[in-house]
Amino acid sequence: MRKQMKSQLQLLLRSTLGMALCAVAIPAVSENVPTFRGNPEHSGIYDAAGVPALNGVKWTFKVAGRLIASPTVDGSTVYIGSTAGVFYAVDRETGGAKWKFAAKARVASTAAVANGMVYFGAYDGNFYAVDAASGLLKWKFATEGEHRYAATHLHGSQPVKEVMPDVFDCYLSSPVVWSGAVYFGSGDGNIYALDATSGALKWKFKAGDVVHASPAIADGKVYIGSWDSNFYALDAVTGKEVWRFKTGEDPDIHNQVGIQSSAAVVDGVVYFGCRDSHLYALDAKTGEKKWAYGTKGSWVIASPAVRNGKVYFATSDSGMVFALDAKNGDVIFSLNLQRWPSFSSPAIAGDVLYEGSSSGRLNAVDLANRKVAWSFETDAAKKNGPAYTKADGSPNYEAAFDGDFYDDMIVGHYRMMAVGPILSSPVVVDKVVYFGGTDGILYALD
């Protein structure tokens, strides 16, 4: 019995805190598009000098609640929403508040900014458009309702027959604006296209389960995955399915299933990660698999970054950062970040890759030398990290998780949140890196 319980606990720890806590490059443009991952194709590449050597903290901004969403930078303003249901506009130079909007429900959707409006979703099931200058509501659209992915015996938790919402389904879909429409997925299982000016429904497409991945758009197609284990390509104008690709299933404990990662579409290939522990490369026109890289049981929640024939991505349980050959998926190099999971998606500017970790650290990787150039700890990581860190620097899950009952998973998850994990993806503009921490602080580093 003890051996069985130990085995179950090990499965729970591996599955949960492994997540503890969603070629040729696209030519650089003079400005990054203010949307998740820097452009509609979600390549994760920023045309900026970045911070190859860390000078310090330019400013910090404290919010109510936690920051799970990523910042969006447009002009002189940084936009971000919090788990307390407040959406903020922050002065990019000083870190002072410009305005705030009360959504009154958790905001875990990274905003898109276009034509003087800011778009984002919230857990009240509404999709919002607010005035970028004033924060006044322009319109809101009611979906059929938000909820997280849920399943029985989730990650091996007890009771076996109880339907459990997945605490690691932590992001909402982040919108993208294209050709007068705004696109996003929803927990109601739909993918929506709305008129960006009025909020009127243009079309919706029904997937088989929750859609919290963020849509990428390239060549008139919407690319997005779902918790139903399918990855879809849709016609951006009509919403009709062009093709779908089936990823892995896990019918017992529902651990190795579902697509949280958002795709990157570069040079006719779609790259995305999956909870079935693979990074996939598909032909953008046909959906045919070009290759798949297996991570030996570690989820790929982070969205990949693609540049100069290389695909960069991070893993959950194993805490790795990989660089793969974009043509065949061969490993070019990898770095071990002490087995701390990463949900944050890598951003690349110049020769540096920026990656957030559940350890509460932002790591800057020198791509030329293939090593960490510098690392920054959040305030929470400095304060609470030692209590949940082993002597070798790896996570001390045993200190957080008491057993394999579902309630133990919830409690353990929130204990680890005290470390201040960086679930937010970094954004690089000029010589500054912006990101949010679950300690409720928006950081600007230079």
Q: Can you give the residue ranges of every domain in the chain?
A: 2-445
Name the E strands within 219-357: 221-225, 230-235, 241-246, 264-266, 269-274, 278-283, 289-294, 305-307, 310-314, 320-325, 331-336, 347-349, 352-356
> Among residues 413, 402, 408, which one has the least CA distance to residue 341?
413
* pLDDT single digits (tens) 237-296: 999 999 999 999 999 999 999 999 999 999 999 999 999 999 999 999 999 999 999 999
The two structure tokens encoding residue 178: 């294209």
pLDDT at position 316 over 80: yes
Q: What CATH superfamily is the domain 2-445?
A: YVTN repeat-like/Quinoprotein amine dehydrogenase (2.130.10.10)
Q: What is the pLDDT of residue 338?
A: 81
pLDDT of residue 23: 33
Q: Which residues pair with 272 in a beta bridge?
A: 280
Place of tokens 């950081």: 443
- The gap from C-alpha 351 to its chain's centroid, in whole angstroms, comes to 22
Query: CA-based Rg of the chain, rounded to a whole angstrom?
Result: 20
Instruction: Express each pLDDT in 348-393 by its tens digit.
Output: 999 999 999 999 999 999 999 999 999 999 999 999 999 999 999 9
Average pLDDT over residues 71-84: 97
Chain-centre distance for alpha carbon 69: 8
Percent of the chain whose predicted confidence (pLDDT) is above 70? 93
| Cis before 426? omega within 30 | no
**Structure confidence at residue 32 (pLDDT):** 56
Going along 63-213, which residue ranges are E strands? 72-74, 77-81, 86-91, 97-102, 112-114, 117-121, 126-131, 137-142, 150-152, 163-165, 176-178, 181-185, 190-195, 201-206
Mean pLDDT rounded to a whole number for the chain: 92
Start-to-end Cα distance in the chain = 54
pLDDT tens-digit map of 13-40: 444 444 334 333 333 333 457 999 999 9
pLDDT at 433 over 60: yes
Task: Judge whether 279 and 304 are in contact, CB under 8 Å.
Answer: yes
d(CA 398, CA 159): 21
Q: What is the pLDDT of residue 96?
A: 98
Predicted pLDDT at 27 = 34
Question: Which pLDDT tens digit goes with each residue over 79-134?
Answer: 999 999 999 999 999 999 999 999 999 999 999 999 999 999 999 999 999 999 99
